[in-house]
Structure 1
Amino acid sequence: MTQTDELPNDVEVLKRIIVELQEQSAAEIERFKAEQQAAIDEAVKAAVAAILRRYYGPRSEKFDPRQLFLFGQQVVDSPLDAASIKEESGEPLTTRRPRHKHGRQQLPDHLERIEVEHDLDDKACPACGNERCRIGAEVSEQLEYFPASFKVLRHVRHKYACAKCDHDGYNPNIETAKKPQQPIDKGLPGPSLLAHVITSKLGDHLPLYRLKRIFERQKVHVARSTMCAWMRCAGELVTPLVELMIERVRQSKVIHTDDTVVPIQSPGAKQCRKGRIWCYWGDEANPYIVYDYTPSRSRDGPAKWLAGYSGYLQADAYGGYDRIYHSQNVTEVACWAHARRKFYDAQDSDEERAVQMLALIAELYAVEREVKDADDATRLALRQECSVPVLDRTKTWLDNEQELVLPRSPMAKAITYAQNQWQALTTYTTQGYLNIDNNASERTLKRVAIGRKNWLFAGNDAAAENHARLWSLIVSCEQHKVDPQRYLTGVLAKIGTMHNGDLKQFLPDEWKREDAAEPMTHHEEANS
């Protein structure tokens, strides 16, 4: 018996069945269109809100747990007291802000003091005419600025000859005193000037054309192209030292990495092409930050840099790392800050779910604040005890809500991202020395973002590679609280005479220890 045998033979009845099916189909189509339109409207609304927030809204992504009360819920298990609200929201649970103390701060003791005395022109007493005697003084301090000055070092190399041999008609054996090797052979700049130019551009984000104008105020004219050449020579000089830092970072148990765009000038093109700057942050045993440049965001960049590495790699969800995870003994560690940002951005279209998820993530970060100063063993134990249960609840929430949200909505995208990254998002709870997020790498790349707003672009690939090497030294110095200009002055003055086996002393942490043990000379004080 076929399906057609079950249909009635009456034509009118068949027409009614067809009409009913058409109406049902039309209703289904209309419902589908309505759902699609609702999803599109929601996505457009979220996109517009994200653009407005980007340009006009606050940069902070702080979450206040009091938002949960808007929905009559409390996701956290523990009571929501004033201390927890202050810790999470960044301000106390009060309507009155605390008053900040105003007033002049004490000037640092290490600054040179120059006495400027002020005395009475007429010391005679206005009553009796006798000369008044000094009974004390009022002292006040004023901060003054003395512009940095150029100095010319005249290298006088004395020459000697044997007068007796010369008188007797023999070779006088003339010899000239040797000059210490300079960073740029027969070049104009000394180590301190080179360090100043490098730090000004790559540390303080000062374009060379502005530095040129600053020099001209002191009647010193140095072309911008000349300073570019100086930086190129300095970058080549420190290459062996940066390679040593790279070798040390590759020995780390965990490496943090991230990347950002750097515009590269393309002669004849209407706009700059996009190169990439990658940062690699070593662990506590190898505390250095190194940068690498690639002409594109090809997966070959990190694959080449991390070739042979085994350990943990904490990064974003860029697909270029997948081959590294699959072909090498490298474990992926995802970033909860990236996952959190997607739920934060979804607040405009689905505030209730976003707030619930943000509260769960806040519990994870509360554990991290508690274990911040603990040793690895204690940190691991507390994560297993406190963070793992929160992660289990979070996974259950994601599984349940994924079935309820609109497929193309911002909330669905946020949930899908977290689900796809789930194993990597939970890896940090397996080791005490791993971090919950990759914010350290993101902060490290901010200097590139700030720099490109000032100097706009790199002239070519070689210049960008040179910037990456010099950034590696400057940022590693700042990591160890070392003055980069003073450090570069010392390194550039000596590195040319060193063998590769002696370069360890120029690593920023090693240099800091040795420098602290040596007293500064007057010349070094003037350059620091």
Structure 2
Amino acid sequence: MISQAISVDSIDSNREELVEEVTDLRLENRQLKERVAWFEKQLFGSKSEKRHVAPPEQTSLLGSPTTTPPDESDQQTITYQRGKAKKRRPEDCATDAGLRFTDEVPIEVIKVTPPELEGEQADQYEVIDTQVRHKLAQRPASYVVLQYEIPILKRRVPKEEPSTQAAPTSPTTPAPQLITPIMPDQVFENSIADVSVLSGLLVDKFCYHLPLYRQHQRLSQSGVTVARSTLTNWCQRSIELLRPIVEAQLRHVLQSKVLAMDETPIKAGRQHKGKMKQGYFWPVYGEADEIVFTYSDSRGRRQIEALLGQSFEGTILTDGYAAYARYVKQTEPVTHAQCWIHCRRHLIDARARDPVVVDQALDLIGQLYQVESQIRDQELENEKKRDYRLTHSKPLVDQFFQWCEEQIHRPDLTPSDSLMKAIRYAMNREAELRVFLENPDVQPDTNHLERSIRPIPMGRKNWLFCWTELGAEHVGLIQSLISTCKLHRINPYTYLTDVLQRISQHPASRIEELTPGVWKTRFAENPMRSPLQT
């Protein structure tokens, strides 16, 4: 009895400690479950952040089944005829099957000879019409050797008129000379690479993410023997030719009033055996739909200062990375705007904590983007766009932050709770998230920038890393031009084939004319092509 009393007394004395310990264990257990769920989503879940919200008036397709069988007398057999009209296709379709192609696609005509026109009774048939059908075909990747036949000339010596006495030969009379015409302009002198091969290497690797070792295998299968180091050398020399164009494009981008910035990691350079250095691309997106990827071995504020300097005066649109806020704090003329999608992403990660409550905030953000869609449909700009946002978007933003104020005072939310972190993220950036309301040139998110930097992680999955930091810098240079070509709907192969030949004869004082945006208006109608295409 005494021992039992002692144990009961000890339990009563430690009751508060046990309750506190159980509460902490439950909180830790929930946090660990959330972390495991996050990792499972990253590995196996959908990457899309779209929310499929059904209209409230729509009934469920999986309603409760009817238990009362229908009366046979109420059943009626209905017959109908279904039409066989051809499906409507766009006007640019070449066939009823929906095949569409431009004038740049070569067409090879295959004449089909019916067996009736080859037999003994062929004279009994006559062709009254021709039916044309199209099929899409593919040639395997092929390489062609261009053989230049350059004539060697010799100047003819004029025949002298016969005379009674031969004139002595003058020692100053020039001897006949051999003349060898020079080769047509080449990208690299004394190189075996045509401009078509150089453009193809760059486009295949940086646009379609085909590493050089796979292109080397394709060359070998085609019967061409070239060292892999030669392919690397061609890429490096070609990109160095394009460096002045990228620098001119960067100068033009920095003249924008609104810049979108981000950073994405890349392994570049060998740190020690078995480990690569960590580097970063810093993409900068300008108002003229131009993007430049700059490389740095740091993710710190000093790279932002080196890139923008003290002369930039405008607005930078970024995510919630603290380095941007520290830069803006020390630079007076710069305004900082932040991305609503990153704010929404934290709420989506916390949705499992309280789906009903989080959906209220997600619905408000969704209505913000409905307003942006209406602005695009009405093609509003400048002050009209600003007034429309203040009228329709500002009340939604006010409701969102009022919702944040209500939720942050909930007693069941601890500082380590995922929902509390999402709310704190938004409230700490309220001023930056409101910038787009007053500035019509600022977009509410950085989606346009994230779409443009997608080739970097896509390429990283294929060529894995850059062996040197100079190689990473070259990746940023060529990716700046290819991504900008995509934004302006320019074929990167056509652009690179023209620019690699034109840059040696174009004035350096007008180098900005070779940036993709300006090139499209000046040279796109009649670009320089490879001898293989002429």
TM-score (norm 1): 0.82
Q: Which residue of 1 aligns with 2:70?
A: none
Please point out which of 199, 205, 212 is paired with 1:201: 205
* SS state at 1:344 partner: helix
Aligned-residue offset at 1:377: 1.9
Going from structure 1 to structure 2, the CA distance change for 1:324 and 1:524 (only over 3 Å counts) comes to farther
* Equivalent pair of 1:42/1:409 in contact (CA under 8 Å): no
Aligned-residue offset at 1:520: 7.7
Q: Which residue of 2 aligns with 1:302?
A: 304
* SS state at 2:275 partner: coil
Is 2:397 aligned against 1:403?
A: no
* Equivalent pair of 2:259/2:316 in contact (CA under 8 Å): yes
Aligned-residue offset at 1:296: 2.8
* SS state at 1:492 partner: helix
Superposed CA deviations along residues 427-479 of structure 1, whole A, max 9, x for unmatched, are: 11111111000111211221010001001111100010011111111111111
* Equivalent pair of 1:181/1:496 in contact (CA under 8 Å): no
Q: In the aligned structure 2, how far is the partner of 1:223 from the partner of 1:113?
A: 35
Q: What is the 5 A alignment of 1:86-235?
A: 95=61, 104-108=97-101, 110=103, 111-123=105-117, 131-147=124-140, 148-154=142-148, 156=150, 168-170=171-173, 177-179=181-183, 181-235=185-239
* SS state at 2:201 partner: helix
Q: In the aligned structure 2, how far is the partner of 1:520 from the partner of 1:458?
A: 31
Greater CA deviation, 194-203 or 34-43?
34-43
* Equivalent pair of 2:249/2:512 in contact (CA under 8 Å): no
Going from structure 1 to structure 2, the CA distance change for 1:522 and 1:326 (only over 3 Å counts) comes to closer
Please point out which of 341, 346, 368 is paired with 2:345: 341
Going from structure 1 to structure 2, the CA distance change for 1:203 and 1:93 (only over 3 Å counts) comes to farther
Letter in 2 for 1:113: I
TM-score (norm 2): 0.82
Structure 2 residues without counterparts, runs of 5 or longer:
1-7, 63-86, 90-95, 159-168
Q: Which residue of 2 aligns with 1:289?
A: 291
Is 2:47 aligned against 1:59?
A: yes
* Equivalent pair of 2:196/2:530 in contact (CA under 8 Å): no
Q: Which residue of 2 aligns with 1:387?
A: 393
* SS state at 1:496 partner: coil
Superposed CA deviations along residues 20-63 of structure 1, whole A, max 9, x for unmatched, are: 9x999855444443443333222111111111112222221122
Q: In the aligned structure 2, how far is the partner of 1:129 from the partner of 1:499?
A: 66
Q: Which residue of 1 aligns with 2:329?
A: 326
Superposed CA deviations along residues 132-176 of structure 1, whole A, max 9, x for unmatched, are: 333334332222223443232527375666858x97445558765
Is 2:318 aligned against 1:315?
A: yes
Q: In the aligned structure 1, how far is the partner of 2:371 from the partner of 2:244?
A: 41
* Equivalent pair of 1:316/1:334 in contact (CA under 8 Å): yes
Aligned-residue offset at 1:179: 4.4
Going from structure 1 to structure 2, the CA distance change for 1:223 and 1:282 (only over 3 Å counts) comes to same
Q: In the aligned structure 2, how far is the partner of 1:231 from the partner of 1:259?
A: 25
Q: Which residue of 2 aligns with 1:50?
A: 38
Letter in 1 for 2:320: A
* SS state at 1:215 partner: helix
* Equivalent pair of 1:124/1:132 in contact (CA under 8 Å): no
Q: In the aligned structure 2, how far is the partner of 1:282 from the partner of 1:48?
A: 39
Letter in 1 for 2:101: P
Going from structure 1 to structure 2, the CA distance change for 1:24 and 1:214 (only over 3 Å counts) comes to same
Letter in 1 for 2:127: R
Going from structure 1 to structure 2, the CA distance change for 1:109 and 1:449 (only over 3 Å counts) comes to closer
* SS state at 1:216 partner: helix
Q: What is the 5 A alignment of 1:258-269?
A: 258-266=262-270, 268-269=272-273
Q: In the aligned structure 2, how far is the partner of 1:267 from the partner of 1:402?
A: 45
Q: In the aligned structure 2, how far is the partner of 1:297 from the partner of 1:153?
A: 50
Q: In the aligned structure 2, how far is the partner of 1:230 from the partner of 1:409?
A: 53
Superposed CA deviations along residues 319-351 of structure 1, whole A, max 9, x for unmatched, are: 222332022221111001001001001112221
Equivalences, count: 478
* SS state at 1:347 partner: coil
Going from structure 1 to structure 2, the CA distance change for 1:355 and 1:25 (only over 3 Å counts) comes to farther
* Equivalent pair of 1:125/1:131 in contact (CA under 8 Å): no
Is 2:288 aligned against 1:272?
A: no
Q: In the aligned structure 2, how far is the partner of 1:250 from the partner of 1:93?
A: 52
Is 2:519 aligned against 1:502?
A: no
Aligned-residue offset at 1:480: 0.5
* Equivalent pair of 1:257/1:279 in contact (CA under 8 Å): yes
Q: In the aligned structure 2, how far is the partner of 1:27 from the partner of 1:400?
A: 33
Q: In the aligned structure 1, how far is the partner of 2:151 from the partner of 2:353?
A: 76
Is 2:366 aligned against 1:378?
A: no
Aligned-residue offset at 1:504: 2.5
Superposed CA deviations along residues 368-407 of structure 1, whole A, max 9, x for unmatched, are: 1111232122221111011111111111111121121222
Q: In the aligned structure 2, how far is the partner of 1:36 from the partner of 1:512?
A: 63
Q: In the aligned structure 2, how far is the partner of 1:301 from the partner of 1:497?
A: 34
Aligned-residue offset at 1:124: 9.2
Greater CA deviation, 483-492 or 211-220?
211-220
Greater CA deviation, 135-144 or 148-157?
148-157
* SS state at 1:238 partner: helix
Letter in 1 for 2:36: V
Please point out which of 219, 223, 244 is paired with 1:240: 244
Going from structure 1 to structure 2, the CA distance change for 1:312 and 1:219 (only over 3 Å counts) comes to same
Aligned-residue offset at 1:257: 1.0
RMSD (Å) for aligned C-alpha atoms: 3.1
* Equivalent pair of 2:194/2:530 in contact (CA under 8 Å): no
Q: In the aligned structure 1, how far is the partner of 2:432 from the partner of 2:32?
A: 31
* Equivalent pair of 1:182/1:496 in contact (CA under 8 Å): no
Letter in 2 for 1:140: R
Q: Which residue of 2 aligns with 1:487?
A: 495
Q: In the aligned structure 1, how far is the partner of 2:210 from the partner of 2:117?
A: 53
Q: In the aligned structure 1, how far is the partner of 2:417 from the partner of 2:424?
A: 11
Going from structure 1 to structure 2, the CA distance change for 1:402 and 1:29 (only over 3 Å counts) comes to farther
Q: In the aligned structure 2, how far is the partner of 1:124 from the partner of 1:223?
A: 52
Letter in 2 for 1:442: E
Is 2:486 aligned against 1:478?
A: yes
Superposed CA deviations along residues 111-133 of structure 1, whole A, max 9, x for unmatched, are: 3332222223345999x997233
Aligned-residue offset at 1:222: 2.0
Aligned-residue offset at 1:499: 2.8
Letter in 1 for 2:27: A
